[in-house]
Amino acid sequence: MSKSIMITGGAGFIGSHVVRLFVNKYPHYNIVNLDALTYAGNLENLKDIENRENYTFVKADICKAEEIENVFREHNITDVIHLAAESHVDRSIADPMAFIMTNVVGTVNLLNAARKAWAGEYDQHRFYHVSTDEVYGSLHDGGFFVETTPYDPQSPYSASKASSDHFVRAYANTYGMQTVISNCSNNYGPNHFPEKLIPLCIYNIRHNKPLPIYGKGENVRDWLYVVDHARAIDVVFHNGATGETYNIGGFNEWKNIDIVRLLCKVMDRKLGRPEGESEKLITFVKDRAGHDLRYAIDASKIMNELGWQPSLQFEEGIEKTVDWYLANEEWLQNVTSGNYQDYYSEQYEKR
């Protein structure tokens, strides 16, 4: 039987790369991109595939049960890959409720719709929930997050994602739904909304604006190129064992300050600025509340059991990312007009 896969959040950063990969690689699948088009959703991300026969976009909100049930019926959905979420930690600190609504209530709504649509034949359908390494909390010494690390979320964002992971496992256990979960480290690459560290710094370097580093810039994140995450999602969706969890990451830890310095160096070269010019924009600002110190994923399970490997080294990925942003000024202009400016002043001007 051919599949009709609902990919939620497909107009967002990671979702758009997953949609593109599936539409191109699986012409016999029907790909339904369900997205509410919040500030983070942008159909410009999918211009290159929007007219493909195996692709449909549906504007709908995962918090609205009836809308979701209709999409399951109308498109005869056989599987779900769920990425729709509120995804920015700083916004979750300012407004936790939006995160509880989308990430928790929205996910449970989606599970309920799938449960109803697939009743009596759960073994023929898969519900894949895309989550984050932030559910495991913050590492202070050495060590890595493995799939059995106890959950210890520290921000409203990670608490909402942890809660949604628990609901997915509860639905598998209680109703017998066939689920799989992956928890990935920080992604970077084209189409990343410029509220997150890397695209925000690229944008600010380009426009000679201060580069706001929280605290001392000593916090460590483990970065993966977004296309490699999309490739991992493909592998887990098709070959991951039912009920299992897979950690995804590139064994690529960087302190924030070192990433920002690397970006300055790369941008100086590409913009023809004297070496060291952009580093002058670095500005240390008040730390994020409850700022997690370090994330680091042990991705051995997906590498050993499913044969997935990241394809790009970080420096190479950063070059590609900077090139994309420099070649897509219009995309950046569009997403940074309007509400973005209000968000930016609220978030940074008083710091």
Binding residues vs ligand NAD (CB under 6 A): 8-9, 11-15, 35-38, 40-41, 61-63, 83-85, 87, 102, 106, 130, 132, 161, 184, 186-187, 193
Residue with nearest beta carbon to ligand NAD: 12
- Identify which of residues 37 and 65 has a Cβ nearer to ligand NAD in the complex: 37
Q: Are 202 and 267 in contact (CB under 8 A)?
A: yes
- Fill in the DSSP letter of residue 273: P
- Identify which of residues 273 and 288 has a Cβ nearer to ligand TYD in the complex: 288
Coil/strand/helix, residue 339: helix
Q: Hey, what are 221's tokens? A: 């994140």
Choose, by CB under 6 A, the member of 85, 113, 197, 205 that binds ligand TYD: 197
Choose, by CB under 6 A, the member of 54, 247, 256, 336 that binds ligand TYD: 256
Question: Which of ligand NAD, ligand TYD, none does residue 83 bind to, with CB < 5 to 8 Å depending on kind?
Answer: ligand NAD
5 φ/ψ sector (left φ>0, alpha ψ -120 to 50, else beta): beta
139 Cβ contact list (under 8 Å, min separation 6): 145, 293, 294, 295, 296
Q: Would you call 134 a catalytic residue per the annotation?
A: yes
Question: Which of ligand TYD, ligand NAD, none does residue 40 bind to, with CB < 5 to 8 Å depending on kind?
Answer: ligand NAD
Minimum CB separation of residue 15 from ligand TYD in Å reads 16
Q: Are 10 and 19 in contact (CB under 8 A)?
A: yes
Question: Which of ligand NAD, ligand TYD, none does residue 256 bind to, with CB < 5 to 8 Å depending on kind?
Answer: ligand TYD
- Which entry of 61, 134, 228, 298 is annotated as an active-site residue? 134
Verify binding: residue 221, ligand TYD, rule CB under 6 A.
yes
80 φ/ψ sector (left φ>0, alpha ψ -120 to 50, else beta): beta
Q: Would you call 48 a catalytic residue per the annotation?
A: no
Alpha helices in the chain (DSSP H): 13-25, 65-74, 89-94, 96-99, 107-117, 156-175, 197-206, 226-239, 256-271, 300-306, 314-327, 329-336, 339-344
Choose, by CB under 6 A, the member of 23, 200, 205, 318 that binds ligand TYD: 200
Question: Which of ligand TYD, ligand NAD, none does residue 106 bind to, with CB < 5 to 8 Å depending on kind?
Answer: ligand NAD
Question: Which of ligand NAD, ligand TYD, none does residue 212 bind to, with CB < 5 to 8 Å depending on kind?
Answer: ligand TYD
Q: Are 190 and 321 in contact (CB under 8 A)?
A: yes
Binding mask 89-118 for ligand TYD (x = CB under 6 A): x-----------------------------
129 Cβ contact list (under 8 Å, min separation 6): 82, 107, 164, 165, 168, 179, 180, 181, 182
Q: Are 63 and 57 in contact (CB under 8 A)?
A: no
β-bridge mates for residue 132, sequence order: 184
Q: Are 43 and 88 in contact (CB under 8 A)?
A: no
Q: How far is CA 132 from CA 94, 160, 300, in A?
A: 20, 11, 16
Piece of 193-201, 224-232, 275-283, 301-309 that binds ligand TYD (CB under 6 A): 193-201
Minimum CB separation of residue 290 from ligand NAD in Å reads 18
- Cα 172–chain centre separation: 23
Subset of 272-311 contacting ligand TYD (CB under 6 A): 288
- Which entry of 133, 228, 292, 298 is annotated as an active-site residue? 133
- Identify which of residues 263 and 281 has a Cβ nearer to ligand NAD in the complex: 263
Q: Would you call 175 a catalytic residue per the annotation?
A: no
Verify binding: residue 186, ligand TYD, rule CB under 6 A.
yes
Residues that bind ligand TYD (CB under 6 A): 89, 186, 196-197, 200, 212-214, 219, 221, 256, 288
Active site residues: 133-134, 157
